[in-house]
Amino acid sequence: MTNTRRQFLRGAAQLGAIAPFLTVGALAQRAAAADVESARFGSTAEEAYQIAYKAHEDLMTLPDLRMHGEEKIAMVVYPKMTMLDLVGPQFFFSAMMGSSVYLVSKDETLSPVMGDTGFAIVPTISMADCPNDLDILFVGGGTSGTVDFMNDQTSMDFVADRGARARHITSVCTGSMILGQAGLINGKKATSHWAVRHLLPNFGAEAVDARVVRDGNVMTGAGVSAGLDFALALLAQIRGEAYAKSVQLAAEYAPDPMFNAGTLSSADPKMGDAMHKMYATAIFAMDEASRRQKRE
């Protein structure tokens, strides 16, 4: 078996989380369960596998496409965080064939971590055991859970330590508050959820009203859903635009929102003002945490 064939088998299994039909077992199962009429996809399990393998080789000939790598990616998981901040980017990071994606928790028992909307994610590694040298450090956000994280010395020490050596320091939503508290965005342009973006200068950062902001090795995404745009941008930076586009297609990511109300500038002003005030408690707490850091 050639090295390329081995890479395909490993990569197809990894990409199976996004496109299960690429795994060898799933190919055989589908072919056995369905009468494949089009020769384009093969009439036997072996033919289907050969077609998939040839498609893999064809993709590798596309310019600027780096399909395989060995990136180490740490995604911090903590109680009461907004899980969509993490789940969207994790979906795209897991499509990076050859990469290792760690879901990192402070709890060494690796117990399920409950998010702020009532569902839990099971971490895969503790902060103590997480690799020291990372290609990507990622932190998502939330409200009260993010404030608790910012006030937890062990958690902040982890982010500061791994971030000091990571090739890419990243966040989505109020995760940039955590990066700021760890001293990782001082002097950088950054973004955050619109409700707290104005607090970024507290951490020495320049606030930018944009979905995704890149400044050197720091890349930050705006609120919640911006995690998808952020992940694609980072994927393109690391693996090339062609690879990012192929994963975008696999995910069928073609946003077409029903309403044009996803930003303060596009939403009804009265609704926007009321929504902003609803975040008053979180804004105060994050502001207070950042100012306490300055005093200390």
**In this structure, are residues 269 and 277 in contact, taking their beta carbons and an 8 Å threshold?**
no
Q: Taking every pair of C-alpha atoms in the chain, what is the biggest distance, in angstroms?
A: 71
Active-site residue identified among 173, 178, 182, 235: 173
Residue 268 phi, psi dihedral angles, 5° rounding: -60, 130
Determine whether 173 is an active site residue: yes
d(CA 101, CA 73): 5
How many CA atoms within 13 Å lie on the side-chain side of 81? 31
d(CA 123, CA 134): 17
Q: Which of 17, 22, 15, 12 lies closest to 48, judged by CA?
A: 22
Amino acid (one-letter) located at 165:
R
223: CB partners within 8 A, 6+ apart: 141, 172, 173, 192, 193, 194, 195
Take residue 291 and report the two structure tokens written for it: 């100012």
Catalytic residues: 173
